[in-house]
Chains A and B, each alone.
Chain A
Amino acid sequence: MSGAVLILEDGRTFSGRAVGAPGTTFGEVVFNTGLTGYQETLTDPSYRGQIVVMTAAHVGNYGLNDEDVESSRIQVAGFAARHFPDRFSSARGKEPIGQGLGEGGVVGIDELDARALVRHLRSRGVMRGAISTQTASEADVTALVEKVKEQPTMAGAALALTVGTTTRYGFALPPGIARKGRVAAIDYGIKRNILRMLAARGLEPTVFPAAATAEELLAGRFDGYFLSNGPGDPDALSSCVAEVKRLVESGVPVFGICLGQQLLGLALGGTTYKLKFGHRGANHPVKNIQTGRVAITSQNHGFSVAADSLPSNVELTHVNLNDGTCEGFRTTDRPVFAVQYHPESAPGPHDSGALFDEFVSLVERGEAR
């Protein structure tokens, strides 16, 4: 077994076993408390630039397969857990997680005290760090900490412009599904399941690059616009915000998820801020303020819209019961709504699929008008 270390910018070091690709990787170190769905997490573009620590004891139990992917590649900058089993068990599985990480060029570490690491991040906040299989001595560690400090921080990072598609493409409706509308999905790092869920409901998506202009988008005369999830700091995306503003003003239905909500929040005149350690997992309770019903949600975000920064034509619709943060809003004067969490799940509970139905009805109403 060869060793690896996970080093944080404040100098805290965790040692463990090297898994995946050899080398050194840098990123913002964040933790995810989901018990299942590591492959969806690995391939979720919103994790670009992040070293993800899974809190579950054993990660990789059912291996990696060809289906449970949210994008075409492993996106995380590094992966850590208490244990990545060398052997998996699943009829669908194709390869062990370590092998998949290696092939994806991702440096991983296990056998470290992941709980201590999570407790550290919880109390100090998420921070930059590195996983390295190349630090043999104390001097190496010290040098690595210095290098970590030289890395860009997540605050101010305009990652969403770099992860998604560079050319527009269509996503076909599944066989037997009648088209209810055409929507443009702006890819800031879109998860594949969002496209699947739109398509399954008869909304035929055309996927646009993050840099697409409103002009270009509106020219397509779509029935609705979808703003996707994605990595990085929304505040660094002023060009995108400007385009989103124009989409909102068009009066065509707009639905945003995650980064999409943050961009909408900014476009509507609100502000965003960085959470201390974010929300990443599959167990956060989100209350629908109108129905009183609580959904257990899939979450992955480090930034949030400040609820009190939103103008009076924006109504808070969903709130996180753990910390009271804004989980969803809609405008009272336009067909625009957004949620911070992930109704497309993948991974996570399927409690919130109805939000896509809501988008469908907005689109259908728009057409009728």
Chain B
Amino acid sequence: MPKRTDIKSILVLGSGPIVIGQACEFDYSGTQACRALRREGYRVVLVNSNPATIMTDPEFADATYIEPLDRDTVAAIIAQERPDALLPTVGGQTALNLAVALDEAGVLEKHGIETLGASVRSVRLGEDRLLFKQAMQEVGVEVLLSGIAKSIDEARAVAAPFGYPVVIRPSFTLGGTGGGIAFNKDDFEAIVRRGLTLSPVHEILIEESVLGWKEFELEVMRDAADTFVVVCSIENLDPMGVHTGDSITVAPQMTLSDIEYQAMRDDAKKVIRAVGVATGGSNIQFAVHPKTGRRIVIEMNPRVSRSSALASKATGFPIAKIAALLAVGYRLDEIPNDITKKTPAAFEPTLDYVVVKIPRFTFEKFPGADTTLGVQMKSVGEVMALGRTFAESFGKAVRSLETGRTGWIDAPSASPPAPPKADALRVPRPDRIFAVLAALRGGTPVATVADVTGIDPWFLDRFQEVIAVEREVRAAGRRALGDADLLRRAKRSGFSDPDLALLTGSAVADARAARTRHGVTPVFNRVDTCAAEFESRTPYLYSCYETEDEADPSDREKVIVLGSGPNRIGQGLEFDYCCVHAAEAITQAGYESVMINCNPETVSTDYDTSDRLYFEPLTLEDVLAVVEREKPKGVLVQFGGQTPLKLAKALEAAGVPILGTSPDAIDRAEDRERFGELLRDVNLQAPPWGVARDVAEGLKVGRQLGFPLLVRPSYVLGGRAMRIAYDEDTLEAVLEEAIAAFPDRPVLIDRFLEDAYELDVDALGDGEHVVVAGVMQHIEEAGIHSGDSYAVLPPYRRVPRAALGEIRQATAKLGQALEVVGLMNVQFAIRGGELFVLEVNPRASRTVPFVAKSTGVPFARLAARLCLGETLPGIGLTEEPPVLGFSIKAPVFPFRRFEGVDTILGPEMRSTGEVMGRDRSFGLAFLKAALGAGIRLPEKGNAFLSVHDGDKDALLPLARELDSLGFRLLATAGTAKALARGGLTAKTVLKVNEGRPNIVDLLINGSVDLIVNTPLGRESFYDEVSIRRTALDRDVPCLTTLSAASAALEAIRARAAGALTYAPLQEEVRV
């Protein structure tokens, strides 16, 4: 059936900010869907609060709303746009939940909107475990023994027959938030209580445990003619019990026989039909008992998911795009396979390589968080690698992680390694796989490791084969470098050059030279969906140590973009956005764009984003291999964050032309001594600073500078290990931490500017001129990482015009001095009218997409053109673009995932994503930004105030305003006294350690609607942590700085004054 002509416009819902469990993969899926639907001639209306996405670029939709993804906002946009249909299946659980909410509120019915892909009924079936169970039983698919409970008593009754362990899952939460496995009665009661609270419908599912069973996923598609295909099978290396997002996974599945696999496929077909997904993709998870083979369907997601992104990248089958086309009536056999161009999309991809995905964790950002992996996802990103065998792929995946490991081999550490925990094998933690390798190396038999870990022996046997090669190389030592056969076997087992260097006790360069001399060099194979049965027309490539190269580069001039690798806190979607823009600019400039990246969740790793895609680790070795094959005009390193920047010097040394700002200029900005000289040259000042290489030196520098101090390692993004020290004891601890985190990098120590406010500037340079793209003011005072601050464009208060002029001049001077070609970002602080330069980063920054969306100017793309040799006047960018109204960027945090972790912000970045609020006034923009970030500011109610002494005077006007808006004031004794002095009455509330009922009791009882709580110091730390945690768990807005409180008040006032309006990006005059 050809496409439907009865619908003209389609509303697409995005997934909002990046959070754990919902990341870049939904930019990939939304972008593909929007592009496909527009190409088919539909009017696409898009709502997504996340400005860092490619999908919210104005060309991907006819009307793009960067607005909060809540029911009322979307309902208002629907009333305004009157779309014919809604596509809720490409925006993750957020979009599905929103579709259900819109349906329940009668919005869809009122406007006659049809849901495409999955119906609201299918969404409910997929999510509601009881309905799902019934549906499965009706079609004869086995499910877990389970029961639903809405109270602790019901829970006990349901669980009684299952014994321990037993699994608890709250209904309707993202990525399993709030769930857990209980091994005893106490665990059980605690997890049940938490689950009942966190579930929006206060309902939990209790299941028999399948802990230790094998886990599989099938990515399936179905069209309107009921044609069904499995796009990809995925096997989790970590058995059941670890969330699939936190598991190492392998595609295609490795250990099922055809009989077992086809039975699973039959089940999947029944599941998608029973759930009623009329068209599109679904993800279906299975558990298989390793001995009996008993197979159970665990869950199904009637939508594009993280696993479908992985499956798309793993196979070359673009699930999201095809799902969108199926949704508008096409059938699978009517859609061509993009890779072969000749065969249709109605087929099942087959792989002649192995794909390994490894999750990336950032527990170091959340001290105190439990690193045990369970049914609740905790990783923030992932890498994928392709190799001709499991071993080759696994080695590549490990080195893609950028966690300091060179691949298979543990780098010798300066400090003696911490002894492995006794339960390192049994308990799944992020680094369990390395404990597994260590155990196998130490001679623990495969059967024992398999028994303790639940990892299928097939994988362990492959590890054993790798370890055998490793032993041979280690035993041969430097002689191995003369043994071509051994080198080839090692490379075919996935060992990196640095691995070989460590094993043979030689320099990396020697290892590389030796293998090259012996002709042991990689070739590139194509990802072609069909195991070479048909010719591939699409250069989507991976390296391996086979014999025939299929890269087949053209003789056109090429430019390589280095991507940003796995998502992590501090380096995520924003940089992928920049890389995608760079690729577009390269193509538009008439070159061939070549992308290298290893993150399967991204738009950059779509084979049609660039002319040529290399799915490869971002290490020197792997990048050089591509460079040698493609022989590009140059490489762009400034768009992908620190990952490519770290390679810049070595690439340059290897003779690779770096386009844009020179690696030396990058170094001048990063190296503190050279940066000091730079500032002196241009007559600007930084806060007093020093550099230390060890703790003693650090303490000396600290004493000279005077407290408080800001301490951080050099060459890191996201404020990793960055801390503020108010005294010598803290300084010592902080120095130790920084040196332990990055032993080979000097520690930077700055005088910390208290009570300063910060501004962030993005600018572009062409080597001669500099044009400011945007000046953003942080709402929070200095000391909170810029990535975790609310940022306002343009600056909203307190910044004198003269200071702004000074900032623009300073930016220009710095850019000119560094001869910046491309993007740069400068962070300034103003204290008492004095301007300080905190940092200069001659590269793409996290705020580039935000500034682009606020101004309508695609700065990343323009910057790439500058890198390719154009000038600012040449591209028509000669002055800072105006901003209409206000745009505010709000951070989003993963604290819910990490129980007990304090939510207070500091210089180390901890947010995973961001949203943007835009409107004509600051207050309305803030209201939208907060709402987008999930903070529903109350219009009235009880406001609890508790601030430190220094804030007490400044609190008064805010309290007065709260009072005048009709809020009832609650305060701790000290704060209440201060308010009384100002003539305000506040009801006194006990602190946690003062007796009951205290503030936490009030919070739990729902008697507090807003909290203003600024840090009071160490003595009341416990009190504050419990207030902030409880507020978080109960969804009560908690403002921890007075400036944030003041901004929030302005928003509340603006809300009271008038209704919110929504305008698409495409409307030029919108405010």
Residues on A facing B (Cβ under 8 Å): 31, 33-37, 39-40, 55-58, 61-62, 65, 67-68, 82-83, 85-92, 113-116, 118-119, 122, 277, 281-285, 287, 291-296, 321-322, 345-351
Contacts and interface: CB of A to CB of B under 8 A. Distances in A.
Contacts of B228: 296, 351
Interface of B: 225-230, 233, 252, 254-259, 261-262, 265-266, 290-293, 331-333, 342-344, 346-354, 388-390, 456-458, 461-462, 525, 530-535, 546-548, 550
Contacts of A295: 227
A119 B350 contact: no
Nearest to B456: A89
A347 B265 CA distance: 13
Given A294-B225, A294-B333, A350-B265, A285 B344 contact: yes
Contact of B291 (A36, A85, A91, A282): A91
B352 A115 contact: yes
Nearest to A67: B259
A7 to B, nearest CB: 15
B266 A350 contact: yes
Given A57-B352, A61-B254, A91-B293, 4 more contacts: A61-B458, A85-B462, A86-B461, A114-B352
Given A40-B258, A57-B352, A119 B548 contact: yes
Contacts of A58: 254, 354, 389-390
B255 A57 contact: no
B390 A322 contact: no
B531 A322 contact: no
Given A85-B461, A284-B347, A285-B344, A347 B258 contact: yes
Contact of A296 (B348, B456, B530, B532): B348
B458 A113 contact: no
B548 A113 contact: yes
Interface of B is mostly: loop
B350 A285 contact: no
Contacts of A119: 532, 548, 550
B801 to A, nearest CB: 65
Nearest to A15: B547
Given A91-B293, A349-B265, A56 B390 contact: no
Contact of B258 (A37, A122, A277): A37
Nearest to B340: A322
A87 B346 CA distance: 35
A328 to B, nearest CB: 16
A296 B229 contact: yes
26 contacts: A33-B352, A35-B233, A57-B390, A61-B458, A62-B256, A65-B257, A85-B461, A89-B456, A90-B257, A91-B291, A91-B292, A113-B546, A115-B525, A115-B531, A115-B548, A118-B352, A119-B532, A119-B548, A283-B348, A284-B347, A285-B343, A294-B227, A296-B348, A321-B343, A321-B347, A322-B342
A349 B218 CA distance: 14
A284 B258 CA distance: 16
Given A113-B547, A293-B226, A321-B333, A36 B347 contact: no
3 nearest A-B residue pairs (beta carbon): A37-B258, A55-B531, A89-B458
A300 to B, nearest CB: 13
Among B346, B388, B389, B461, chain A packs the most CB atoms within 10 A around the CB of: B346
Given A68-B258, A122-B533, A321-B333, A55 B352 contact: yes
A115 B546 contact: yes
B258 A285 contact: no
B354 A57 contact: yes
Contacts of A116: 546-548
Contact of A91 (B290, B347, B547): B290
Nearest to A118: B532
B1044 to A, nearest CB: 53
A190 to B, nearest CB: 18
Nearest to B350: A33
B150 to A, nearest CB: 39
B454 to A, nearest CB: 13
Contact of B389 (A57, A87, A292, A321): A57
B252 A287 contact: no
Nearest to B529: A283
Contacts of A349: 262, 265, 348
Given A115-B548, A285-B333, A37 B533 contact: no
A68 B259 contact: yes
B589 to A, nearest CB: 34
Contact of B350 (A65, A113, A277, A283): A283
A37 B860 CA distance: 49
B348 A282 contact: yes
A296 B347 contact: yes
A116 B523 CA distance: 11
Contact of A33 (B292, B353, B530): B530
A118 B351 CA distance: 13
Contacts of A321: 333, 343-344, 346-347
Nearest to B254: A61
A134 to B, nearest CB: 21
B252 A89 contact: no
A118 B226 contact: no
Contact of A115 (B252, B456, B457, B532): B532
A56 B351 contact: yes
B352 A294 contact: no
A92 B257 contact: yes
A122 B534 contact: yes
Among B227, B254, B257, B347, chain A packs the most CB atoms within 10 A around the CB of: B257
A82 B390 CA distance: 11
B70 to A, nearest CB: 40
Contacts of B351: 35, 56-57
Nearest to A55: B531
A32 to B, nearest CB: 9
Contacts of A34: 258, 350
A44 B91 CA distance: 46
Nearest to A121: B532
A83 B352 CA distance: 11
B571 to A, nearest CB: 32
Contacts of A57: 351-354, 388-390
A68 B261 CA distance: 13
Nearest to B233: A35
A92 to B, nearest CB: 7
A65 B258 CA distance: 12
B314 to A, nearest CB: 13
A219 B650 CA distance: 83
A37 B257 contact: yes
Nearest to A295: B227
A89 B457 contact: yes
Nearest to A296: B348
A272 to B, nearest CB: 21
Nearest to A116: B548
Contact of A36 (B261, B290, B344, B525): B261
A92 B255 CA distance: 11
A39 B265 CA distance: 19
A129 B845 CA distance: 58
A119 B548 CA distance: 10
Contacts of A322: 342-344, 347, 534
Nearest to B344: A321
Contacts of B261: 35-36
B288 to A, nearest CB: 10
Contacts of B227: 293-295
A37 B348 CA distance: 15
A52 to B, nearest CB: 14
A284 B229 CA distance: 11
Contacts of B331: 292, 294
Contacts of A85: 458, 461-462
Contacts of A348: 258, 262
Contacts of A87: 457-458, 461
A329 B109 CA distance: 47
Given A35-B351, A55-B350, A89-B456, A346 B461 contact: no
A291 B225 CA distance: 8
